[in-house]
Structure 1
Amino acid sequence: MTMTYEYGGNLYINVTNQCPNACEFCLRQNSSGSLYADNLWYEGTEPTKEQILADLKTRDLSKYTEIVFCGYGEPACRWDDMLWLAKSLKAMGDYTLRVNTNGLADCITGRNAAPELKGLMDVVSISLNAPTAEKYDAVCHSQYGPAAFDAMLHFTAEAVKVVPHVVMTVVSTMPAEDIETCRRICEGLGAKFRVREYIEK
């Protein structure tokens, strides 16, 4: 059971394998789960927040640039557990915490979730992935349908208010004109913009 793993000078927390999206470019669709660690798929029950914290305590957390909630699923699917872990980590030391998310926490939790990140997350990286709701739905296949796009934009706008660094990302394989439209959307929300390379495994 791989609860945490190292990559690129950071420590990643494999919070969950659950995700409401089935993005066509996601590693979950193209990998066995062993690109960054032995196996990121959980067999059966996922670990408790206490088990994850115990795993974190076995590591020298001070040596990592960032501690990242990511793993092989959408961290917001265990939103309350993630916040509990973030609070626990902040109580242990002055660590830089980041969450990589699809921005659908509002849909998942049923509430305006981003304000709850205040004082806990230092960086939020949100997958924008498309310039319109229709294209987002076609690529991400969210269980929330086209409404997921506006929910993600709302989450981003709220996160910008309370998190020091908010980044929106797209995959490099997108058409250039779509990337430019996404850049304008991102800047309009007050977030930074990054094009990430497509990883095929």
Structure 2
Amino acid sequence: MTITYEVGDGLYINMTNRCSNACTFCVRVIKDGVGASSVGDRLYGAEGSLWLEREPSLDEIIAEIKSRDLTKYSEFVFCGYGEPTYRLYDMIKAAEFVKTISDIPIRVNTNGNASLINGITVEEAAKLFYGRFDIVSISLNTSTPEAYVKVCRSVFGEAAWHNLLEFGAVVSKYVPKVIYSVVRATDPDEDLELCRRLAESHGGELRIREPL
């Protein structure tokens, strides 16, 4: 199964397929993998499937990281076919391990709902990122909670949108950089400026992504 894979000059780690969202634009609805994986040539050609047979253990994750030459990459990214904060504490331990062997910048791509997923406060969740992550990228996707429910279909409803903004504002105290991302197709162009204002007023900057 594919635990790590490459996109551009980044090394990505795929820890879980669980997610609290069912986004209408999600790439995993369209295809089984992105980038190139360690098993890609053997099983799936240019792409390795990111659907896991089971969730890898922390030991398996660390072994996979050890097998990679981190000097080849410009960043290490927790991002796969699921929301990585479902494995919040294993993710933290894996990030700590990477910090012991490399100075590669570490990013996490998240829906920002770590506190809701793990039943802890936003402050408790945000503090865990201190000293372990260089960039937290949060999927904002819409300028209103009503639109978020339609596009991202979170199990937490509109609370997910409010929670991700609160998390971004708080985690910005603990990490060097917070990015809020929007997929261009999910919001009308006139709403992108509203998203930018939301990002900047909640400790981050806006990144507009093109659909995969």
For Structure 1 versus Structure 2, the TM-score category normalised by the shorter chain is over 0.9
- Any conservation in 1 of the 2:154–2:160 contact (CA below 8 Å)? yes
Matches within 5 A, 1:79-158: 79-111=88-120, 112=122, 113-158=125-170
Match of 1:17, as an amino acid?
N
RMSD (CA atoms): 0.9
Report the secondary structure of 1:117's partner residue. coil
Which of 26, 39, 50 is the matching residue for 1:40? 50
State how far apart, in whole Å, the 2-side matches of 1:28 and 1:6 are. 16
State how far apart, in whole Å, the 2-side matches of 1:89 and 1:142 are. 31
Which of 189, 192, 202 is the matching residue for 1:176? 189
Pairs aligned (count): 197
State how far apart, in whole Å, the 2-side matches of 1:50 and 1:96 are. 22
Match of 1:11, as an amino acid?
L
Deviation at 1:190, TM superposition (A): 2.3
Deviation at 1:189, TM superposition (A): 1.1
Q: Structure 2: which 5+ runs fail to align? A: 36-46
Q: Give the TM-score normalised by the residue count of structure 1.
A: 0.95
Q: Structure 1: which 5+ runs fail to align? A: none
Report the secondary structure of 2:99's partner residue. helix
Aligned to 1:24: 24
Report the secondary structure of 2:100's partner residue. helix
State how far apart, in whole Å, the 2-side matches of 1:119 and 1:34 are. 30
Runs of 4 or more consecutive aligned structure 1 residues displaced over 4 Å after TM superposition: none
Aligned to 2:60: 51
Deviation at 1:64, TM superposition (A): 0.8
State how far apart, in whole Å, the 1-side matches of 2:113 and 2:29 are. 19
Match of 1:124, as an amino acid?
V
State how far apart, in whole Å, the 2-side matches of 1:183 and 1:77 are. 27
